[in-house]
Amino acid sequence: MVEPFAAVDIIKAKRDRGVLSDAQIHWVVDAYTRGVVADEQMAALAMAILLNGMNEREIVRWTTAMIETGERMDFSGLPRPTVDKHSTGGVGDKITLPLVPLVAACGAAVPQLSGRGLGHTGGTLDKMESIRGWRAQLSNDEMLAVLRDVGGVIGAAGDGLAPADRKLYALRDVTGTVEAIPLIASSIMSKKIAEGAGGLVLDVKTGSGAFMSDPAMARELAETMVRLGTDAGVRTRALITAMDVPLGLAVGNALEVAESIEVLAGGGPSDVVELTLVLAREMLDLAGLGDVDPADALADGRAMDAWNAMVRAQGGDPEAPLPGAREFSVIHAEDDGVVTRMDALAVGVAAWRLGAGRARKEDAVAFGAGITLQAKPGDRVHKGDALMTLYTDEAPRFALAHEALEGAVDIGPEGSTIDRLPLIIDRLT
């Protein structure tokens, strides 16, 4: 087969701040997936895109080309409207867990294809796999059956969904090009568009614990993704939300499942409840169910019923005890006063070092490892009070976690300014 383009010419064009044609983009994405374009060539192109950007047409075409390397899912036969949510991730971000059954309990179908954690940010599938028997890998037919019977599913994306993205993401991860907004946006949206839901709500996080810590870059990413979804015929909107402080009071796989169950039972930390309800209302509105109040489904037990049914449908036992850690260590307040700051990144790195995360994709996670918070910004504490409790199966990990937490918490006198972002920063449609 004679290839219509040479990879080096496309690299040079973007290196020199040129604009790629639709045909060039389609070819280079397809050829990379086929193995015709080498890793080192795609790495060079990704770096050129990181440095010089892409215009809106290029990003749309790149996203479309990624989708075209694989299959599209079809949920049109379901008796419910479909809507999905994607979060760019953070520390203690367990919102997917209570959100999916809550929205399902309100009448929508939620095909939530999620990923695993890497580094300081947790992965939804890792959290769910702390439930005995639960499995992430479902065939398309199994996923449809769960959606039809329960209304919500949390699972791993199949190999056929945007395979170009899986290959390109692994390359970006080791070549310092993860932060390229055109490539982030196309990576997320190629999978979400191929997934086939009719509506999509994006939770784009910013702050120290977020993937996109700069608020201006978070906004640019959100705007880009909303345009991509809308252009593809998916009703899309985005919230920019805070990730300067961990979400909730639990960071770590089984710990976050337990906190999610508290929310479904009508309790849980106020910030987790608030964000879950805000996102649920956005999703239900996109699904044409805006007159349904998700708070009612939390209060009357329907959301918990949907959770139990969803877990069972994927082989899990919702009654089984969650894994715990063998060792724990408490960090105490060194002064009287008010907690004014808590660095989400430091808490996330500490939880990772305790075993809750992985450094490489093939690493195993310790389901019981993590951190619970006994105080957050705005809380009054006395010297000697517990600030947080660390959990791990391997006691030597405590020293590494304590190192990560050096300077992570500030305590000021009564009346001090609280240094944190509002939970909901902006909304884009």
Which residues are known to be catalytic? 86, 165, 172, 187, 191
How far apart are alpha carbons 394 and 416 in whole angstroms? 38
Return the DSSP state at 129. T
Query: Rg of the chain over CA atoms, in angstroms?
Result: 22
> Alpha-carbon dihedral of residues 30, 34, 39, 44, nearest 10 degrees?
-20
- Among 39, 49, 43, residue whose Cα is nearest residue 13: 49
50 and 166 in contact (C-beta within 8 Å)?
A: no
Burial 177-210 (b: 16+ CB within 10 A, else e): bbebbbbbbbbbbbbbbbbbbbbbbbbbbbbbbb
How far apart are alpha carbons 331 and 236 in whole angstroms? 42
- Among 47, 120, 178, residue whose Cα is nearest residue 358: 120
Handedness of CA 365, 371, 372, 376 (dihedral sign): negative
Q: Which two tokens stand for residue 143?
A: 């996923």
